[in-house]
Structure formats: structure tokens, C-alpha cells
Amino acid sequence: MAEQVGMTIVRRDAAARWECDVDLCVVGAGISGVAAAITAARLGLRVLLADACPWVGGQAVGVPIGTIAGLFSCGPAETQGLLTPLLATELLKALREREASWPFYSRRARTTIIVYDEAELERTFEHMLNACRVVLLLGAVADVVQRDGARITRVRFATRFGACDVQAPFFIDASGDAALTWLAGAACRVSTQPIYGTQMAVVGPVAFPARENPADVARRAEELLREHGPRYGLTREECRIFPLPPRGLAVLNATHLRTPLDPLGFWQEARAARVEVERALELLRREYPAVFGEARARRLGLPGIRQTRTIVGRAMLTLEDVQTGRCFPDAIARAAWPVELHDSQAHYQWQPLPDGHYYTIPYRALLPAELDNVLAIGRCIDADPLALSSARVMGPCVGMGVAAAHAVSLAYTAGCQLPAIDLASLQTHLAPNLEGIYPYA
């Protein structure tokens, strides 16, 4: 007979609260935040990584975006190489060993894109974070930020278990919406016109023909979506399909939705986009039955957000910087993805970069003008909307995350604030991400 398990009666008499004291608190567990947390922990810092979602990987896992773009140089396929080898080489190797990725040369972008299985990416992130003992605080929404002048001293997170207060000398805002900077009362920027997100879908099974290039299959599917989309009620005219043949899957990118910073309005906008995903998949099943006849939506994740709110930094990345290939004296990462601004429900602006072209992201664009111990990374750096539409993709986000971690480590060791670090030392640590083109095996 099983032993009896006792019970007791409890009553809530005070709000539960937990506290944590670390060297660095990273807010946002998307690819930029994960890159920052792993790198900082490997540099010897005690790191806490917080996210409102109950998983690591942010939009890369939860949307899922499905493609890692912006890691490679632009140009012919035979000249391709990594611009951001730090951490990215390790990440790509792990996905390849899991047979969870597929390199996809985009003739349109003239660069290589990595299509991936989001479940395997999540596990890869978890293994890397666990190996370096990063403290995770998931399902935690930043709620209250305390400041002492130009320094954030403490952040309170609301969780299902109660509040958790995190105290640290340094913070990284990888929230995507500049949420930490916003809650601290510092100035932020928003676009004066809507910038659309996308409701993604992972679909399968997809019957890729054995003797046909999966890229050609994707192009044919895109042609069909463009040709028949209006008849099926699709509002976006330029849809994208990204194949993942090792898993018999494809990533469907066929919608546009507004993504307002409004807790009710956001989900109201998402409803129509999710219906359009179903229509797009119905189109593919009917018009391309040999490949998509059995396909269903394996996953409709969170609505994908491209651009919302950014910091006001100590420098702004501009479209001119992107187009002229500006190399800033305080460069911390390189990028070579086309300008890709989704500013219309039916269309978007697409401006490919010349072969061999790249630009740099300045350290000052990561520094909030009114805060000394915070760095913003990912899609909330200071950049005009067109420049950000190029810099916000995963490749540059990895580079920014690695750079932010090294900057915090230098500041921590020197006992200074983030604007005062030795930039020459920072760039020495980041040299592989600032110089040369590296092969991808």
C-alpha cells in the first residue's frame, strides 16, 4: 500500500517575492540575448537571462522565424563566408550535427540563409546556456525598474509564482521593444508609420522530389502564391517559402499584420493573419498537390514582430550608413543583409546590397543616451527604420550580443561604466567579427 501524503492549509498573507543578485541581467532571451548571456558567462560573469516567454530562443523559437539570415557576406554562392563567426560557428555546427538545418542560397538576397528546425534550435540554446550555468528566469515580465540617476539598479519581474527582484551592476536590453529602457523612463523612438510583422507557419509533411532542387520547389510555390493569392483572400503579394528538406518541412512566410504595442490590439490584429495562413496553406495543397498535398500547419507560433520601439542612443545607424558601407571607428559588428522594410500590407521595400558590400554597427548605437549601465541589442538599437530593417536579422543580432557581453566584461573588470570602456580592447576581442570572411563547412 502506498504511503499517505500529508497536506496542510495555507493562506496568502503577503505577496511572495524572490531576490537575485548577479553581475549581469539580460532581459530578452531571443538570439541576441542568448548570445550575450552565453558569452558573458563564459567570460566569468554571473548572468541571469530573463524572458516573458516560458522558453529560450524568443522569436527564433516561438514564432518561429525559421531562417537565420545575415550571417554571411553577399555575393555569388562560391564566394560566401561568415561575417560573424564568434559563437555563430558553434551554433551552426550544433544544428548541422543534429541534422536540423539546411543552407539555402537566396538568389534574391545574394547571400546564404540557414533554414532550421525550431525545436532543435531551442534545445541547442538550452544546452549551451546550461553548460555555462546561466540562471534562467522564464515566464517573467519586467514590471518595475529602479534607477539611481543614470544607472538601473534593480528590475522587478512579475511571474506566476510572484515577484522576483533582480539586482545587478549591468543590464542588457535584448527585449526587442526596448522594454527595459522604456520602463526606466529613458527616451525611446517609434516609427511614425506601421511596420508590419508576420504570422509564420511551419508546414509539413512536404514531399520534396528526390531529383529536384528544394530551392526550385520553393520558388515554384512562391509563384503559385503570387498568382493565386488574391483568389484565396491573401493580402500580401510577395510570399516566401523556405524549405527544410532533411525534416520534410517548410517555413511559410505569407502574411503581414500590424504589431501595435497594445495588449488588446496586438492580438486583434493577429486573428486575421492566422486565418490567412490557413488560406495560404489551402492554396498550396490545391495548386501544388504533388509537394504540399498532405501538408498541414505543424505549428502556428506567436505573431512575428519586426520593428516596434528602439532606444535613443548616443549614435544612430542610418540608411546612408548601410548603403555607403560605413565603417564606424567604434564598430562592434558587421552586417550585409538587404534593406527589408515591411511598411505596407501588400508589399515591402527590398534593396539588395552590392556584392562584397557590408557595413558596421557602432557601439554608441547600443548605448542609451540617458543610461550608463545598460546596452541595447537586437532590434531595439538606435537606427532609423530603413537601417534597422537590415540590422535586425539574426546574424547581426548574434554579433551585437557577443559584443555587448565583452563590453560588460571590460566595464566590470575596469570598474567603469559602459560609455567609458576601452574601445580598442573591445575591438580586439571582437576581431574575427570585424575582419575577414570565414568559410562555412
Along the 441 residues of the chain, how does pLDDT read in single tens digits?
678 899 999 888 777 789 999 999 999 999 999 999 999 999 999 999 999 999 999 999 999 999 999 999 999 998 889 999 999 999 999 999 999 999 999 999 999 999 999 999 999 999 999 999 999 999 999 999 999 999 999 999 999 999 999 999 999 999 999 999 999 999 999 999 999 999 999 999 999 999 999 999 999 999 999 999 999 999 999 999 999 999 999 999 999 999 999 999 999 999 999 999 999 999 999 999 999 999 999 989 999 999 999 999 999 999 999 999 999 999 999 999 999 999 999 999 999 999 999 999 999 999 999 999 999 999 999 999 999 999 999 999 999 999 999 999 999 999 999 999 999 999 999 999 999 999 886
Closest CA to 232 of 275, 280, 270: 280
How far apart, in whole angstroms, are the C-alpha atoms of residue 157 and residue 165? 6
User: What DSSP designation does 419 have?
Assistant: G
Q: Which CATH number characterizes residue 101's domain? A: 3.50.50.60
Where among 267, 299, 331 does a domain terminate?
A: 299
Q: What is the pTM for the complete model shown?
A: 0.96
Cα dihedral value 100, 103, 106, 110, nearest 10:
140
Shared domain for 268 and 413, answered yes or no, is no
Shared domain for 179 and 218, answered yes or no, is no
- pLDDT tens column, 343-382: 999 999 999 999 999 999 999 999 999 999 999 999 999 9
Closest CA to 152 of 363, 372, 380: 372
Where among 262, 283, 299 does a domain terminate?
A: 299
Shared domain for 91 and 138, answered yes or no, is yes
Residue 44 grid cell? 566569468
How far apart, in whole angstroms, are the C-alpha atoms of residue 358 and residue 434? 10
Closest CA to 221 of 171, 307, 289, 270: 289
Closest CA to 249 of 210, 290, 282, 214: 214
The answer for residues whose C-beta is within 8 angstroms of residue 369's C-beta and 6 or more apart is: 186, 187, 311, 312, 313, 314
Neighbours of 7 (CB within 10 A): 6
pLDDT value at residue 441: 66
Closest CA to 370 of 168, 184, 171: 184
Inside any domain, residue 61: yes
Inside any domain, residue 2: no
Task: Identify the bridge partners of residue 257 per DSSP, sorted by sequence position.
Answer: 197
Range of the domain at 220: 196-299
Inside any domain, residue 153: yes
Shared domain for 171 and 64, answered yes or no, is yes
Contact between residue 174 and residue 293 where contact means Cβ atoms under 8 Å apart: no
Shared domain for 60 and 160, answered yes or no, is yes
Shared domain for 37 and 149, answered yes or no, is yes
Provide, rounded to the nearest whole percent, the portion of the chain with pLDDT above 70. Answer: 100
Axis-axis angle for helices 88-97, 394-414 (nearest 10): 130
pLDDT value at residue 1: 63
Shared domain for 54 and 176, answered yes or no, is yes
pLDDT value at residue 247: 94
Q: How many domains does the chain have?
A: 2
